[in-house]
Amino acid sequence: MSGRGPNRSPGYIEGKMPVDNMDTEHDCGLTVEDARMLMHDLRAPMTAIVGYSGMLRRASSAEESERILDGLEKAVVRMDAMLESAASGQFKPKARSGTHDPVDLCGLAQDAARDIRASSEIEVTVECADQVAVPGDSLLLRRGLDNLLTNAVLYGDGTPIEIRVYVARDSAVVEVCDHGPGIPEEERERVLLPLVRLDRDAATSGTGLGLSVVANVAEAHGGRARVLESDGGGTTVRLELPLG
């Protein structure tokens, strides 16, 4: 008789999600927490793919189709990279050893904004006076930015979203601002914790993971995330990252 319990598949380890061809020596299984985070973060590129697909059907020229296909391809590549990092046990945001290449935060912001425009009717603007780059993991930083934008889309009541990228002293700063109902001051630190949602948001789809991922991405790069009030009302989430 097999020693495998009921409803278990090859690669199953107690407390882990099943993964084919798991390398048990290096424990490449996904914890339930990691799997939940993976499913959550895959939604951003998946939503972009759906948006670009609709745009492609309406494209009126070969040039427009090429631009749309570029965005679609980048979303697919990003999904593949996320799945690969999960399979290798590298999905959870944490500090990585070794030397990191500079990541162009302005380019990252422009690409992320384009994805939101493809998948929603919300106005998104990007302000970036000069090129701003930090040493880091481009996939992790993009996941953080995607979560910031998804949060603004979900809870900003359809108001315009502004992305600002700039340098302040020895830090690169990325801000995502909406003009929705905002977050009460006494709740602003708490919403950066995993699985925390405000009572008023119960009717809105969400998991309470997004801003905690942002905070973890910032910490993995030696920085921090802060929740502030936008000028004129709303929520601004600020990502502060060391320049070197």
| pLDDT tens, position by position, 155-175 | 899 999 999 999 998 899 999
Residues 6+ apart with CB under 8 A from 51: 115, 118, 119, 120
Is residue 31 classed as helix, strand or coil in its secondary structure? strand
pLDDT of residue 73: 96
Contact 173, 164 (CB under 8 A): yes
Contact 240, 226 (CB under 8 A): yes
Contact 214, 191 (CB under 8 A): no
Residues 110-117, mean pLDDT to the nearest whole number: 96
- C-alpha 216/C-alpha 19 separation (Å) is 25
Summarised one tens digit per residue, pLDDT across range 183-222 is 889 888 888 876 566 656 555 655 667 788 899 999 999 9
pLDDT of residue 4: 37
pLDDT over 90 at 24, yes or no = no
Helix axes 62-87, 105-119, angle to 10 degrees: 110
163: left (phi over 0), alpha (psi -120 to 50) or beta: beta
- Say which residue the tokens 């296909």 belong to: 69
Summarised one tens digit per residue, pLDDT across range 216-233 is 999 999 999 999 999 999
pLDDT of residue 197: 64
pLDDT over 90 at 71, yes or no = yes
pTM over 0.85: no
Structural domains of the chain sorted by starting position, each given as residue range(s) with its CATH number in brackets: 16-87 (no CATH), 102-242 (3.30.565.10)
